[in-house]
Amino acid sequence: MRQPPSLSSGLSEQPKAVARLDGSPWTPYWFVAPVVVYLLLFQGYPLLRELMLSFTQTSLLTPEQSTFVGLRNYEELMARPDFWRVIGVTAIYTVVCVVMAISLGLGAALLLDRPFRGRGLARALVTVPWAAPPIAVATIFAWMLNAQYGIFNYVLKLVDLEVGYESWLDNPRLALPAILFTTIWQIFPFSSVVLLAALQGVSEEVREAAQIDGADRLNIFKVAVWPTIRPTVALLALFVTIWSLRRFDLIWVMTQGGPIGATKTLVIDLYTRAFVSRELGEAAAIGMVGLSVALVVTLVYFWATQRAEKAEGRR
């Protein structure tokens, strides 16, 4: 009669089974390798080439004939008064996009989180602006803001609010607000969808407990809702910041950086230097400045995130 295996034999065989399940110690690296190769080929190498190009004087017409000039491209950038205006326009555009997109997105998410008839249809319709192609959105809004037949001026005339600034995209004071309005209209639905998903994770028990304690809606939001969605808001702010720094198509189609540089951001300035002025070295230097700004924003985000996590750990 076959004897059942003893406890000692089972224990002795267990490490072998675990070893077979673990597999080779190189297995995790094999899974990560394709991603690393992709990043090196399509991200790392182009960035390295751009960095090298920023130290040269290279023309788009003769890219094979480049002359090493060291930091001259960066020195000329810093000496250009219009470049600091580009930095200012980029900062204003980015900050307004982040603040307004997240604020409107949070407001829409809070409304869509409440039960009402037709909520499913409303949640689907709010994603339409984000799903629309940026080129199409820019073209439609450029038509709506047209000085002769645009619907914006038509509505202003109907309500007697015409103030003389009929040409929105040709006016240096109105062009940037018009670009910002178009951008925010398109991107805030993405914020609302992301924040709506975060609101689904808020504990109903915590909300009910705060309500029983007599807290109003504002205090319920501060005590129960905000601590849960705060990490999502921070990550969303990082994404919107980076997307705003690199946005090109919508601005180029509507104004091409004009009028008189009123809507010229770093990306528009880079494109103009590379393909209009045909100075690849200067364009690469502008690109590295933009990359440095994005890296600084990312580092600040991770520093603030770690500091917030440590502060919560001490509580």
Sign of CA dihedral 215, 208, 202, 104: negative
Do the domain assignments include residue 141? Answer: yes
**Is residue 85, in this structure, part of any structural domain at all?**
yes
Residue 223 lies in a domain: yes
Mean predicted lDDT score pLDDT of the chain: 87
* Cβ neighbourhood burial of 178 (10 Å; 0-12, 13-18, 19+): buried
In a domain, 260, yes or no: yes
What does the pLDDT look like over 34-56, one tens digit per residue? 999 999 999 999 999 999 999 99
Choose between 25 and 3: higher pLDDT.
Answer: 25
Strands 56-58 and 66-68: antiparallel
The answer to the question of residue 44 being in a domain is: no
Check which CATH number belongs to the domain holding 114 and give it: 1.10.3720.10
Q: What kind and span of H or E run contains 58?
A: strand 56-58
Tokens of 68: 């090493």
Domain range enclosing 167:
71-312
User: Residue 144 in contact with residue 151, Cβ under 8 Å?
Assistant: yes
Structurally, the chain folds into a number of domains equal to 1
Instruction: Say what the pTM is.
Output: 0.86
Rounded mean pLDDT of 136-149?
90
pLDDT at 152: 86
pLDDT 10s digits, 162-203: 655 567 898 899 999 999 999 999 999 999 999 999 998 888
